[in-house]
Amino acid sequence: MSELTLPTIGYGAANVGNLFRALTDDEAWEILQTAWDVGVRYFDTAPHYGLGLSERRLGAFLATKPRDQFVVSTKVGRLLEDNPEGADHLDTENDFAVPASLKRVWDFSADGIRASVEESLERTGLDRFDVLYLHDPERNNLREGLDVAIPALASFRDQGMTRAIGVGSMDTDALLASANTGALDLLMVAGRYTLAEQPALAGVVPACREHGVGIVNASVFNSGLLATDSPGADARYEYGGVPAGVLEKVQAIAAVCREFGVSLPAAALQYTLRDDTVASIVVGGSKPDQLRQNAARMAESIPVELWRTLTEKGLIPA
């Protein structure tokens, strides 16, 4: 298993792949430079993000930085193939404002994963990735992911082609089954272990403890719900609208945060760092100010009494 140590905070580079809105190359560069300036040294990307645009932009930026000063991860499982008929429209069905001149094709075979890594290396211009995650295996074929893709990734790690391997998913069943293979170093848990809700605590976190798997916690703002001090009915949750019960709970959490003079986003960022299975928090951002705010929130002091009060009120588990 890997002994890779991840920085406490990382930047999730979906936004520089034009997630939800188009960015110019200069705007994307400014975001990445701001991440670097506030101390981010872990960057996560994927072929899925903007049909390779995120990887290309991130790679061009990291080419200007010393290779031994950052950690970078990408994902496997989706190959990108030419899609000429899509060139005249945008990839909006996947929420990316990029021409759909490429298409995603699932491939969990050992050859497919090797091809994915080689193509990601070419897009980024990097010599290696520190971490490789199998991306969303439950959306294709979870059994093939467990039986074929994860062993292939383990072989790549054992050959020194990457320092650590993992699975990234929003699905707790897929995350649990992946942890229980005993082959992984990391799980990227997206939106399943947050201040608003903690379904990963039921099985995923104990399995990670049992098998020595670290958690990289992503989507800790639940797609925006926890990113403001006063969340309202128009907040984005899981890339859509927020259910009334979830909103009511989060507004109650926000009220407790105000009592202690703590910002809700700061509490959301720091909440799971109290768990020693959590190795890193990966956060996105489409504007430089968002990255500066998140760096400040990570440094904000949060009294133990806040967590105790949230627990006593039944707003977070003991």
**Residue 264 pLDDT grade (very low, low, confident, very high; cuts 50, 70, 90):** very high
Query: Would you call 16 helix, strand, or coil by DSSP?
Result: helix
Nearest to 279 by CA among 208, 211, 210, 195: 208
Mean pLDDT of 218-230: 93
Mean pLDDT of 41-70: 98
Are 317 and 27 in contact by the 8 Å Cβ rule? The answer is no
Quote the CA–CA distance of 280 and 164 in Å, as a whole number. Answer: 14
Q: Report the chain's mean pLDDT, rounded to a whole number.
A: 96
**Residue 233 pLDDT grade (very low, low, confident, very high; cuts 50, 70, 90):** confident
Mean pLDDT of 130-150: 98
Supply the pLDDT for residue 32. 98
Mean pLDDT of 134-155: 98
Supply the pLDDT for residue 1. 58
pLDDT digits (tens, 9 = 90+) for 86-103: 999 999 999 999 999 999
Are 263 and 297 in contact by the 8 Å Cβ rule? The answer is yes
Tokens 């899609």 — which residue?
83
- The one-letter code for the residue type at 307 is W
Mean pLDDT of 6-24: 97
Are 79 and 102 in contact by the 8 Å Cβ rule? The answer is no
Supply the pLDDT for residue 267. 98
The residues assigned a catalytic role are 49
Q: Which pairing describes strands 214-218 and 129-135: parallel, antiparallel, or unpaired?
A: unpaired
**Residue 2 pLDDT grade (very low, low, confident, very high; cuts 50, 70, 90):** low
Quote the CA–CA distance of 199 and 237 in Å, as a whole number. Answer: 16
Nearest to 25 by CA among 42, 50, 47: 50
Are 4 and 32 in contact by the 8 Å Cβ rule? The answer is no
| Position 104 pLDDT exceeds 70 | yes
| Position 3 pLDDT exceeds 90 | no
Give the Å distances, CA to CA, from 150 to 164, 184, 241, 242, 254: 12, 8, 34, 34, 40
What are the residues whose beta carbons fall under 8 Å from the beta carbon of 310, sequence distance 6 or more?
253, 256, 316
Give the DSSP letter string of 203-268.
THHHHHHHHT-EEEEE-TTGGGTTSSSS--TT--BTTBPPPHHHHHHHHHHHHHHHHTT--HHHHH
- The one-letter code for the residue type at 63 is A
> At the topology level of CATH, where does 9-312 sit?
TIM Barrel (3.20.20)
Fill in the DSSP letter of residue 164: E
The helix (run of H) or strand (run of E) holding residue 78 is strand 78-82
| Position 289 pLDDT exceeds 70 | yes
Fill in the DSSP letter of residue 287: S
Fill in the DSSP letter of residue 105: E
